[in-house]
Chains A and B, each alone.
Chain A
Amino acid sequence: MNTDIDLKQIEKKAWTTYFQDGLWDIFIGLFMMGGGLLLLINILCPPCPPSGGVSVSGLLYLGSNLIFGLGVLCVIACKRCITTPRIGRAKFSSARLRKQKFIVIVIAVLFFLYSPALLIIISGFLNSTIVFEVSLGMYVLQIIAIFAMGYFLDVWRFYLYGLLLAIAQLPFAVNIYTNNFPDAARVAHSALLMVLGSPALIIGLVLLRRFIRKYPKIIDRQALDRGVNDNV
């Protein structure tokens, strides 16, 4: 018998169970792949056409912030519909909750920084170098956000996704410093985002399938509560 009851390990396992549903993985995967697709649309149809105004891709660009916000809300809703009915609820220590709040702040900051950044990108008022530097700043923020999720939520997979996102953005950063933005490099950038986003999506789907099988939904939650009340 192991006499050393590793309470820290038990707490970590209990906490990480909430992230074994793969929902955030699916979100990150779709986020990266969607970003790649958006870039591709952007190349095929510039956001600010020479004739003036905003094109469909420009509107898509602006809408991407809304899609990001809706995606986060969707993950939260899915957590309530899929995760909680299967593994129940627990209130963790205040240290854990503080870390969770920090992640909420990071995501909110990303959301609110995106809007002005997207407006700068599609407005066409600034020269292309500044536009690309703003884009790079946004990419760096995304990478930091994913690494922060890995660190503060104690889920190592997110480090991998942060690394994949950083690799996917590397050609873009190189292009900025060589001041050379050929279409081929931009297509490669979008393709890389879509390819490197797929592992997160696949891992997320596999985890979700495993989670649903491992923790079947208990239909009658009220009966569960009654069970506790009757037996105790």
Chain B
Amino acid sequence: MSETGDGDTKSFVNIDRLVHEPARLTILAHLYVVESADFLFLMSQTDLTWGNLSSHLSKLEAAGYIEIEKKFKGKKPNTMLKITDKGRSALLDYREKMKRALDQLPE
């Protein structure tokens, strides 16, 4: 696919690659549907390993798509992950673009 592709292929070029990666897409989708979740919840829902999940979360946090709330429940640390407004719109935008691009493909 050409980087300078025009017409229909432009939709593919403009896809957010950070969201496009399947593991990150799954993480964002899960955080989108809940208000917040902890690390273990994401691990159980996405079937990602600890290390894998951590590295994807750091990329998403660096992009400002998720935020991490560090709290204490008594003396125990309780880390909750939350999707940001930027992350929400990135996911919806990604969905829209993919739908539009693939809908235009011939049968």
Contacts of A222 in B (CB 8 A): 76-77
Closest A residue to B72 using CB positions = A225
> How many angstroms from the CA of A224 to the CA of B42 in the assembled complex?
12
Report B76-96 residues with CB < 8 Å from chain A CB. 76-81, 91, 95
Q: Can you list, as one digit per residue, whether each of A1-42 has a CB less than 8 Å from chain B (1) or not (0)?
A: 101110110110110010000000000000000000000000
- B14 proximal to A (CB < 8 A): no
Task: Contact check, A221 vs B34: say whether CB atoms are below 8 A apart.
Answer: no
Task: Contact check, B33 vs A14: say whether CB atoms are below 8 A apart.
Answer: yes
* Residue in contact with B29 in the complex, picked from A10, A88, A218, A221, CB distance below 8 Å: A10
Q: Which residues of A contact B (CB under 8 A)?
A: 1, 3-5, 7-8, 10-11, 13-14, 17, 85-93, 215, 218, 221-222, 224-232
> How many angstroms from the CA of A88 to the CA of B40 in the assembled complex?
5
- B45 proximal to A (CB < 8 A): yes
CB distance from B73 to the nearest CB of A (A): 10
Task: Contact check, A88 vs B79: say whether CB atoms are below 8 A apart.
Answer: no
The main secondary structure of chain B at its interface with chain A is helix
Task: Contact check, A3 vs B99: say whether CB atoms are below 8 A apart.
Answer: yes
- B98 proximal to A (CB < 8 A): yes
The 10 closest A-B pairs by CB, nearest first: A88-B40, A88-B41, A11-B33, A231-B54, A90-B37, A91-B35, A87-B44, A225-B77, A3-B98, A225-B79
* Residue in contact with A88 in the complex, picked from B42, B55, B98, CB distance below 8 Å: B42
Q: Can you list, as one digit per residue, whether each of B95-107 has a CB less than 8 Å from chain A (1) or not (0)?
A: 1001100110000
Contacts of B35 in A (CB 8 A): 90-93
CB distance from A67 to the nearest CB of B (A): 31
> How many angstroms from the CA of A4 to the CA of B37 in the assembled complex?
23
Closest A residue to B57 using CB positions = A232
* Residue in contact with B34 in the complex, picked from A5, A8, A11, A229, CB distance below 8 Å: A11
Task: Contact check, A5 vs B29: say whether CB atoms are below 8 A apart.
Answer: yes
> How many angstroms from the CA of A225 to the CA of B80 in the assembled complex?
9
Task: Contact check, A88 vs B39: say whether CB atoms are below 8 A apart.
Answer: yes
Task: Contact check, B39 vs A227: say whether CB atoms are below 8 A apart.
Answer: yes
CB distance from A139 to the nearest CB of B (A): 37
Most interface-central of B41, B68, B81 (chain A CB within 10 A): B41
- B25 proximal to A (CB < 8 A): yes
> How many angstroms from the CA of A107 to the CA of B36 in the assembled complex?
27
Q: Can you list, as one digit per residue, whether each of B13-39 has a CB less than 8 Å from chain A (1) or not (0)?
A: 000000000000100011011111111
